[in-house]
Amino acid sequence: MATIKILDPVSRLEGHLRVEVTIETVNNQQQVIDARATGTMFRGFEMILQGRPPLDAPHITQRICGVCPVSHALVAVQALEQAAPVAVPVNARLLRNLVLGASFIASHVLHFYHLSLLDFVAGPDRPPWTPRWDVDQRITGAAAATLVDHYVQALSTRRKAHEAGALFGGRMPHPPTYVPGGFTTTPRASRISKCDALVDELIAFIQGTWIPDVQSVATAYSDYYAIGAGPENLLAFGGFDLDASGTNQLFGRGRIEAGVNGVQTVDIGAITEAVHHSWYQDISSPLHPAQGETAPQHPKANGYSWMKAPRYDAKPYEVGPLARQWVNGDYVNGISVMDRHLARAAEALQIATAMKGWLAELSPTGAVHTEYTVPSSGQGAGLAEAPRGALGHWLNVSGGEITHYQVVTPTCWNASPRDELDVLGPLEQALVGTPVGDADKPVEVLRVVHSFDPCLACAVHVAHPRRETSLHVVANP
């Protein structure tokens, strides 16, 4: 008999996530046999932007997310700079990288210690550590106490990362300093020195605490190297420009396709969004984001999510730190729950190390902005990396106003619903086959979901209406 399990909401992530899975015994092992990911909240930012002045885009789109607003600011600015090209000063490029890098590190620390760690280790027997599921706890005693201590230390580390970003960004989150043509802050020598000292502290924490902690969790839960693979297609738009070319980047653009050797090129024209299972008006075929429409339709017979289903060449792709590491050739050990955690920590060290170099390149007297003329008409796309993966903004301007705006976020890629061919999204595929020890407390499901670091309201539904089922609703700790 199949058991439908609903986790609503899934805690310890940004937004509201509902997960519904069907668990059935296969070869004497309980496991997930089907899954659906459902975004349960409609926000309509793309509709809000219509009719607005183009310069509003970097500020409004940052409000999509309080965890990774810097990426939205950068990508919105890139879209405007493509619509009306302008030369960006070297200092501005460096400052953009530095604030973005600080945002990445803060987000990555948040993810491991404060969103995911408690899937693997129990905290003290008091709030906010309780209630919890005491299931499959393999790290105990002094080892567990050390990890909990580091959980608390990581709060201070996150603050230091935000402080490093705010030195140049003006504030964190939602820095107002990203503008077409450059940046609005001049890098004073005193702030360069202070940021440099903060980055040293971040590097010390990453090397001395975080990476060893991830490795210890990976050792205790080594079976999670074989759990949560998903489609094994990986996509990265590339990020952190190293010069004005737009192609020389700390993390390059590329993709890994399952069953195909080597890194493949990315054709932006091959990206589409399907809405067959989304709460939007049906279209005859999936559209490229530049032509995409946001027309809500709820309820809808086939719909189960407010997220669309992005696809590359009609295939689902995972995005995020693991995808970036694979494309760069820096981490190619596997695709799984534990590989995602290890890749994220390794990436944080790469970024922090790169920040040291960018700080050394800054000139306190150098230009930070080139005069930008807002186009009365035009179109542009901004493509870069957010902490959780590939991020794209597409805009059209006419009559001095935004007439079209489409955003494809990393979690839209990762937690997308089925497409028009009924192919599951990456998170849905990663859940299928996950072994479950206790169907009443499916912590294994949480571990898979959290490994993707979801960053918007979403949900996973699983159902086989012709099977005999029992239904349980769980508000998980």
Q: Which residues contact 277 (CB under 8 A, 6 or more apart)?
A: 302, 303, 304, 305, 309, 417, 418, 419
Continuous segment of H or E residues that includes residue 38 = strand 29-38
Q: What token pair was written down for 66? A: 């309080």
What is the pLDDT at residue 20? 84
What is the pLDDT at residue 16? 66
Give 18-50 pLDDT, tens digit per residue: 778 999 999 999 999 999 887 777 777 888 999
Give 39-83 pLDDT, tens digit per residue: 777 777 888 999 999 999 999 999 988 888 999 999 999 999 999
**Do the strands 469-474 and 2-10 form a parallel or antiparallel pair, or are they unpaired?**
parallel
Query: In degrees rounded to 5, what are phi and psi of residue 50?
Result: -65, 130
**Section 292-306 average pLDDT:** 89
Fold for the domain defined by 2-474: Cytochrome-c3 Hydrogenase; chain B (1.10.645)
Nearest Cα to Cα of residue 241 among 108, 399, 443, 77: 77
Q: What token pair was written down for 16? A: 């509201």
Q: For 223, which DSSP code?
A: G
What is the pLDDT at residue 43? 73
pLDDT at 17 over 90: no
Alpha helices (H) in 63-210, listed in sequence order? 69-83, 90-109, 141-169, 189-205
Give 104-146 pLDDT, tens digit per residue: 999 999 999 999 999 999 998 988 888 888 999 999 999 999 9
């408690």: which residue's tokens?
118
What is the pLDDT at residue 337? 99
**Section 450-474 average pLDDT:** 48
Q: What token pair was written down for 174? A: 């939602």
pLDDT at 351 over 80: yes
Give buried/exposed letters for 34-57 (b at 16+ CB in 10 A, else e). bbbbbbbeeeeebeebeeeebeeb
The whole-angstrom separation of Cα 242 and Cα 165 is 18
Nearest Cα to Cα of residue 428 among 49, 51, 36: 36
Query: How far, in whole angstroms, is CA 272 from its chain's centroid?
Result: 19
The whole-angstrom separation of Cα 96 and Cα 190 is 18
**Section 300-315 average pLDDT:** 94
Instruction: Say if CB 31 and CB 3 are below 8 A apart.
Output: no
pLDDT at 465 over 90: no
Computed over every residue of the chain, the mean pLDDT equals: 92
For the whole model, what pTM was predicted?
Answer: 0.94
